[in-house]
């Protein structure tokens, strides 16, 4: 028989896409080609087989537009059964999940001689990120640690961490520890993404938090993540509102001495120490295996041994990555140009990274009405020169981090800047410095629910309002983009940057940090009073 086809538009609240391996993405036009041994299959039979609630308008005898939302019973086993009978070929993507954007700039391009790290976290629409602090802790030998979905072996000592995290999960989008290690992840859709990725394992965000809690430097963080990856694997829903949204992960990791890029595809991975002045990666693996080009290369045992559909010299990117689309390519080019222009006089600073994370024309900063908005940002200030840009995940809002790591062995503290609110264009970056008695505000922490819908099986059957106080007040105050409010917030940030930069410049190695115990807490509570 001649294969018959249907062109379908798949839609859900956060939109779901099935590609040839039934991996998840977003709204797309999907061409269903019925296999030779499937027999005659009508359009109605196709939709019934997929257990879809649907409405459709027939455009021709072989072309149909379908608007549909999967029922909650639309599960992995049904997808497997269906994929055994029908070949799925993606036609034209109307929307594509977007990754986050993560950057690192190293000496000699930085004004302070250290490393500057920044990330915009782009997450699903409506998701709330909270900013939390976890002190260093000791744990009993042989104890277990519950992550988002699964438990792993706990270590006896964990470091103090500051985390920007989706409030429904255990893991974090980005953060820092008291050793000066910073980590951010990026969502990647590799060639080996498949239905098994829905199986609950460690999320990429879990791996970010585990690396921060356990590592003493950037290379150690690479080892922590890869060992956990090989032991437990990565997988499970990456959204509490779309149970079919999943992806693999890349990681950008830095400390006061150096920075690393870690790329993964399922349990395969490649890691490299950054040795160039500019590096940009967008939502696909990027690591080469040529030691002549990359310093400090590491590679998973199986990655080169069993690459999928591969001939010739092994190259992680060519083997595992999908092509970057035009939108991602534009962001990559714009990000490269921004970093180059802002660092050309070796004067890249915390404010320079703020500028990068706030750039909307390039798509690095995505507004709240975007399908993947920027939900948060982080900025870190430290010592080293190199630049990396990456892409991360599903979002509708974005949080932000910038970390400024002081020069290696300088004895100066590192300062981490977080917004804790969406959209860096409308948010204030607030500083945090690790101290023995540091305290943060409760206003950046989401409410705790008992029992939590995430932990009730089946998961995600109900929703709760996870908005924290700062998130809620900021949303109300900036809803109409009031220029007076935004101007006052920007002035508050400029004054804070000037004061913190002076503190770091004048800091002596033996100086007490008591005066900054409440630095983040005081600024958050000032911002809350301002909104009220």
CATH of the domain at 328: 3.60.60.10
Note the pLDDT tens digit of each residue in 150-189. Answer: 999 999 999 999 999 999 999 999 999 999 999 999 888 7
Q: Taking residues 126-132, report their average pLDDT.
A: 93
What region, left, alpha or beta, does residue 327 occupy, with left being phi > 0 and alpha being psi -120 to 50 degrees? alpha
* Lowest mean pLDDT segment, chosen from 162-171, 202-211, 233-242, 330-339: 330-339
Q: Are residues 11 and 109 in the same domain?
A: no
Q: Are residues 345 and 363 in the same domain?
A: yes
Euclidean distance between CA atoms 84 and 443, whole angstroms? 50
**Total domains present in the chain:** 2
- Under a CB-based contact definition with an 8 Å cutoff, are residues 376 and 470 in contact? no
Q: Taking residues 363-385, report their average pLDDT.
A: 50
| The domain boundary residue, chosen from 49, 76, 93 | 93
**Helix H or strand E segment including 157:** strand 157-158
Tell me the pLDDT band of 369, cut-offs 50, 70 and 90. Answer: low
Q: Is 100 a catalytic residue?
A: yes
Euclidean distance between CA atoms 524 and 13, whole angstroms? 33
Mean pLDDT of the chain: 74
Pick 201 or 62 by higher pLDDT. 201
Q: Are residues 426 and 492 in the same domain?
A: yes
Q: Which residues of 307-325 are buried (b: 16+ CB within 10 A; e: fewer)?
A: beeeeeebbbeebbbeebe
Note the pLDDT tens digit of each residue in 405-442. Answer: 999 989 999 999 999 998 888 899 999 999 999 999 99
| The domain boundary residue, chosen from 93, 119, 148 | 93
Euclidean distance between CA atoms 380 and 222, whole angstroms? 19
SS3 383: coil
Percent of the chain exceeding pLDDT 70 equals 64
| The domain boundary residue, chosen from 93, 126, 158 | 93
- Please enumerate in sequence order all residues whose Cβ is within 8 A of that of 411, keeping only pairs 6 or more positions apart, or say none: 507, 508, 509
For residue 482, pLDDT over 80 is answered with: no
pLDDT confidence of residue 483 = 81
For residue 130, pLDDT over 70 is answered with: yes
For residue 494, pLDDT over 60 is answered with: yes
Euclidean distance between CA atoms 380 and 353, whole angstroms? 9
pLDDT confidence of residue 73 = 37
For residue 16, pLDDT over 60 is answered with: no
For residue 53, pLDDT over 80 is answered with: no
Note the pLDDT tens digit of each residue in 83-117. Answer: 444 433 322 223 345 567 888 999 999 999 999 99
Q: Are residues 80 and 103 in the same domain?
A: no
Q: How many CA atoms lie within 13 A of 315 on its CB side?
A: 8
For residue 42, pLDDT over 90 is answered with: no
* Size (the chain), residues: 532
Euclidean distance between CA atoms 509 and 487, whole angstroms? 36
Q: Where are the alpha helices (DSSP H) in 75-130?
A: 76-83
Q: Are residues 259 and 298 in the same domain?
A: yes
Q: Are residues 179 and 89 in the same domain?
A: no
Q: Are residues 72 and 181 in the same domain?
A: no
Q: At what angle do helices 519-531 and 483-506 cross, to 10 degrees?
A: 170
Euclidean distance between CA atoms 15 and 394, whole angstroms? 10
pLDDT confidence of residue 328 = 59
Q: Are residues 167 and 297 in the same domain?
A: yes
Q: Are residues 223 and 84 in the same domain?
A: no
Spot the catalytic one: 100, 179, 392, 496. 100
Q: What is the pTM of this model?
A: 0.77
Q: Are residues 27 and 106 in the same domain?
A: no
Show the domain range for 220. Answer: 97-532
Q: Are residues 286 and 301 in the same domain?
A: yes
Euclidean distance between CA atoms 325 and 321, whole angstroms? 12
Please give the DSSP secondary-structure letter assigned to residue 342: H
For residue 336, give Cα distances in angstroms to 279, 282, 387, 388, 451: 8, 11, 8, 9, 45
Percent of the chain exceeding pLDDT 90 equals 43
Euclidean distance between CA atoms 424 and 401, whole angstroms? 10
pLDDT confidence of residue 489 = 87
% helix, strand, coil for the chain, step of 5 = 25, 25, 50
Euclidean distance between CA atoms 118 and 348, whole angstroms? 12
Cis ω on the peptide bond leading into residue 313 (within 30° of 0)? no
Q: Are residues 78 and 121 in the same domain?
A: no
Note the pLDDT tens digit of each residue in 322-333. Answer: 555 445 556 677
């Amino acid at each position: 028989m001649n294969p018959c086809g249907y062109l379908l538009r798949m839609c859900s609240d956060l939109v779901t896409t099935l590609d040839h391996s039934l991996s998840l993405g977003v709204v797309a036009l999907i061409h269903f080609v019925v296999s030779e041994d499937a027999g005659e299959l009508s359009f109605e039979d196709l939709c019934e087989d997929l257990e879809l609630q649907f409405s459709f308008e027939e455009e021709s005898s072989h072309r149909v537009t379908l608007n549909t939302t999967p029922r909650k019973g639309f599960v992995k086993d049904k997808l497997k059964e269906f994929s055994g009978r029908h070949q799925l070929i993606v036609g034209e993507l109307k929307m594509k999940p977007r990754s986050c954007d993560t950057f690192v700039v190293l000496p000699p391009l930085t004004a302070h001689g250290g490393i500057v790290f920044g990330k915009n976290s782009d997450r699903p629409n409506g998701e709330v990120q909270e900013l939390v602090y976890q002190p260093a802790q000791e744990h009993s030998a042989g104890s277990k640690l519950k992550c988002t979905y699964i438990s792993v072996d706990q270590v006896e000592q964990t470091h103090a961490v500051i985390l920007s995290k989706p409030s429904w999960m255990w893991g974090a989008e980005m953060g820092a520890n008291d050793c000066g290690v910073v980590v951010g992840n990026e969502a990647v859709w590799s060639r080996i993404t498949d239905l098994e990725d829905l199986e609950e394992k460690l999320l990429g965000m879990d791996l970010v938090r585990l690396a921060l809690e356990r590592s003493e430097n950037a290379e150690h963080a690479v080892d922590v993540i890869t060992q956990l990856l090989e032991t437990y694997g990565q997988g499970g829903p990456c959204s509490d509102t779309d149970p079919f949204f999943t992806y693999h992960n890349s990681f950008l990791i830095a400390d006061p001495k150096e920075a690393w890029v870690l790329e993964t595809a399922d349990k395969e991975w490649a890691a490299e120490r950054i040795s160039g002045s500019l590096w940009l990666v967008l939502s696909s693996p990027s690591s080469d295996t040529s030691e002549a080009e990359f310093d400090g290369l590491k590679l998973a045992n199986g990655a080169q041994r069993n690459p999928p559909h591969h001939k010739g010299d092994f190259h992680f990117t060519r083997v595992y990555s999908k092509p970057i689309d035009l939108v991602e390519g534009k962001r990559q080019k714009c990000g490269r140009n921004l970093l180059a222009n802002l660092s050309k006089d070796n004067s890249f600073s915390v404010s320079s990274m703020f500028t990068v994370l706030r750039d909307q024309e390039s798509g690095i900063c995505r507004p709240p009405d975007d399908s993947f908005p920027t939900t948060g940002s982080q900025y870190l200030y430290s010592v080293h020169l190199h630049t990396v840009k990456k892409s991360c995940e599903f979002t509708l809002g974005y949080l932000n981090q910038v970390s400024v790591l002081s020069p290696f062995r300088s004895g100066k503290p590192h300062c981490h800047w977080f917004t804790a609110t969406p959209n860096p264009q409308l948010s204030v970056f607030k500083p945090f410095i690790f101290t023995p008695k540091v305290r943060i505000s409760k206003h950046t922490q989401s409410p705790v629910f008992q029992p939590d819908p995430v932990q009730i099986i089946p998961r995600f059957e109900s929703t709760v309002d996870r908005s924290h106080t700062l998130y809620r007040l900021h949303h109300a105050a900036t809803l109409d983009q009031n220029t007076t409010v935004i101007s006052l917030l920007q002035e508050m940030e400029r004054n804070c940057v000037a004061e913190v930069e002076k503190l770091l410049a004048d800091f002596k190695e033996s100086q007490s940090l008591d005066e900054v115990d409440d630095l983040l807490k005081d600024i958050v509570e000032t911002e809350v009073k301002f909104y009220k």
